[in-house]
Structure 1
Amino acid sequence: MRPYLIALRAIVLREALRFVHQRERFLAALVRPLVWLLVFAAGFRAALGLSIIPPYQTYITYETYIVPGLCGMILLFNGMQSSLSLVYDRETGSMRLLLTAPLPRGWLLFCKLLGSTAIGILQVYAFLFIAWLFDIEMRPLGYLTALPALLLSGLMLGALGLAISSFIKQLENFAGVMNFVIFPMFFLSTALYPLWKMQESSSLLRDICAANPFTHAVELIRFALYTSWNGWALLWVALSLAVFLALALWGYDPARSLVRRKG
C-alpha cells in the first residue's frame, strides 16, 4: 500500500498547492453563492412561498432553504474547475506524465478527484461560516453530519467533471461545454426551489429535476445539515458516482485513444 499512499499524498498536495497559488479561485468560489444568498434571495423571498417540507419542521426563510443548494453549487463549480485543470495538464504534457506512473489509472484519477473534493469542502465550510455571520444557522451538529454528504456529493460532481474532461481535447472548448452542464444542472434542481413548486409550473420539468443527480446531491446535503437521513438521495448520488467514474476511466483509457487515432 505504500506506493498508493505516496501517490495519494503527492497528488493531493499538488492540488492544495495549486489552490493556494490561485487565491482568486477561492474568492470566486465564495462570491457566486454569496450573491445568491444576499442579493437574489432578498428579491425571491416575497415571490416564492415555502411550505413545511422534510427535513424542516417549521417555516423557514428562503435564505435558509437555498443554503444547501449553494453548498452544492460550490462543489459543482469546483469539480468543473478541477477538470479544467486536467485539460490544461494534458495540453502541457504533465497529465501524460501522471498517468504513466506504475499504478492503476483508476487510483491516480481517484487521487486527483479526492484532492479537488477536499478543496471544495473547505470552500463550502468557509461559505457556511459567512452565512452563520449573517444569522443563517443550521443545527450545530449538522455542520459535522454534513461532512460525509459533502464528500460523497463532491466526489460525484468531480467524477462528472472528470468524465467530461476525458472527451474534450482543447482547452478552448471546455468553457462552452461547462456552461451546458453547470447551468442546466443547477437551475433544474431543488437548489433554488422545491419540487412541488416546479410541479405547479410543469410536470415534465418536475420529472427532469427529480432525475437530476445534482438534485439528489443537494437533498443529501440538506438532510445532513439537519441531522436527518435521506436514503433515496444517498442511493442516487452513489449510483451517479459509479457511472461517472466508469465513464472517466473509459475516457482516459489509452487503448481507446490508440484505436481512435488509428481510425
Structure 2
Amino acid sequence: MTVYLIALSAIIKREALRFVHQRERFVAALVRPLVWLLVFAAGFRAALGLSITPPYQTYITYEIYIVPGLCGMILLFNGMQSSLSLVYDREMGSMRLLLTAPLPRWWLLTCKLLGATIISILQVYTFLFVAWLFDISFDPLGYIYALPAFLIAGLMLGALGLALSSFIKQLENFAGVMNFVIFPTFFLSSALYPLWKMKESSVLLYQICSINPFTHAVELIRFALYGQFNATALGWTVLAVTAFMALALWGYDPARGLIRRKG
C-alpha cells in the first residue's frame, strides 16, 4: 500500500508542477467561462426566461443558472487538456516510463486521472471566487456540498479524455478530435439552457441532451450547489465514469497494442 501511495503522490506532484509552469493554462481556464458569465449572459438574460424548476425555489437570473454549466466547462476543457498532455508524453517517451512502473496499469492511470481532476477542481473554485466578486454567489454550505460533485464530474470528463488519448497516436490529430468532442458535449447539454427550453424547440435535441453524460454531470453540480442530492444524475455520472475508464484501460492494454502492431 505504501508503494501505491508513493506513486499517487508522485504523479499528483508532477501534474501540479506542470500546471504551475503553465500559467497561461490557468488564465485560459478562467477567461473562457468568465466571458460567458459576464458578456454572453448579459445578452441572453432578456431573451431567455427561466421558470421555477428544481433545485430553484424562486426565479433566478440567467447568470446564476449558467454557473454550474460553466463549472462543468472548466472540468471538460481541463479533462481534454490533460488527455492532450498524455498524447504529448507518449510521443516524448515519458508515458512509456510511467506505464512500465511495477504497479498495475489501472492504478497508474487512475493516479493520472486524480491528479488532473484535483487541478481542475482548484480552477473551478477560483472561478467561483471570481464570480462571487461580481455578486454571483450561492449558500456557503453549497460550496462544500459541491466538492464531491466536482470530483465525480471531473473524474468522468477526465476519464473521457483518457479514453480518447488511448486511441489517438499523433499530437496533430488530437486538436481536431478535441473540438469534435468538446463543443457538441457542451452545447448539447443543460449547461446553457434548461432541458424544458430545449424540448420546446426540438424533441430530438431534448432527447440527445437527456442522454448526454455531461448534462447529468452539470445537474449533479447544480443540485449540489443548493445542498440538494440528485440521485439520477449521480447514477448516470458514475456509470459514465466506469464506462470511460474501462474504455481507457482497454485502449492502454499493452497486449492489444502488440496484437495491432503484429497485424
Structure 2 counterpart of 1:160, one-letter code:
L
1:38 is matched with 38
| Partner residue in 2 for 1:250 | 250
Matches within 5 A, 1:138-177: 138-177=138-177
| Separation in structure 2 between the aligned mates of residue 174 and residue 161 of structure 1, nearest angstrom | 10
Query: What does the per-residue CA deviation read over 1:97-154, in whole Å, with 9 as the maximum and x for residues that have no partner?
Result: 0000000000000000000000000000000000000000111100000000000000
Aligned ranges 1:152-231 → 2 under 5 Å: 152-231=152-231
Q: Which one-letter code corresponds to 1:222 in the other structure?
A: R
Q: Is 1:112 matched with 2:112?
A: yes
Please state whether the residue corresponding to 1:24 is helix, strand or coil.
Answer: helix
Deviation at 1:91, TM superposition (A): 0.1
Gaps of 5+ in 2: none
1:58 paired with 2:58, answer yes
Shift of 1:92: 0.3
The aligned counterpart of 1:82 is 82
Q: Which amino acid aligns with 1:154?
A: G
Q: Deviations over 1:228-249 (max 9, x none)?
A: 0100000000000000000000
Question: Which letter maps to 2:214?
Answer: F
State yes or no: 1:97 paired with 2:60. no
**What amino acid is aligned across from residue 242 of structure 1 in structure 2?**
T
Matched, 1:136 2:136: yes
Q: TM-score with structure 1 length normalisation?
A: 1.00
Instruction: For 1:234 and 1:95, locate their aligned partners in 2 and report how far apart those are by CA, in whole Å.
Output: 32
Structure 1: runs of 5 or more not aligned: none
Count of residue pairs brought into register by the alignment: 263
**Corresponding residue for residue 70 of structure 1:** 70
What is the distance in 2 between the residues matched to 1:180 and 1:234? 26
Deviation for aligned residue 1:96: 0.2
Q: What whole-Å deviation, never above 9, does each CA across 1:192-240 have from its counterpart, x for those lacking one?
A: 0000000001101000000000000000000000000100000000000
Report sequence identity in percent: 82
Once residues 39 and 61 of structure 1 are traced to their aligned partners in structure 2, the CA distance between those partners, rounded to angstroms, is 14
TM-score (ref. length: structure 2): 1.00
Paired position in structure 2 for 1:124: 124
RMSD: 0.3
- Aligned-pair distance for 1:76? 0.2
Paired residue for 1:262? 262
Q: Structure 1 runs of 4+ off > 3 angstroms?
A: none
Distance in structure 2 (CA, Å) of the matches to 1:165 and 1:16: 20
Deviation at 1:22, TM superposition (A): 0.2
Helix, strand or coil: the match of 1:233?
helix
What code does the residue aligned with 2:67 have?
V
In 2, the alpha carbon distance for the partners of 1:30 and 1:53 equals 28
Q: Distance in 2 between matches of 1:254 and 1:137?
A: 47
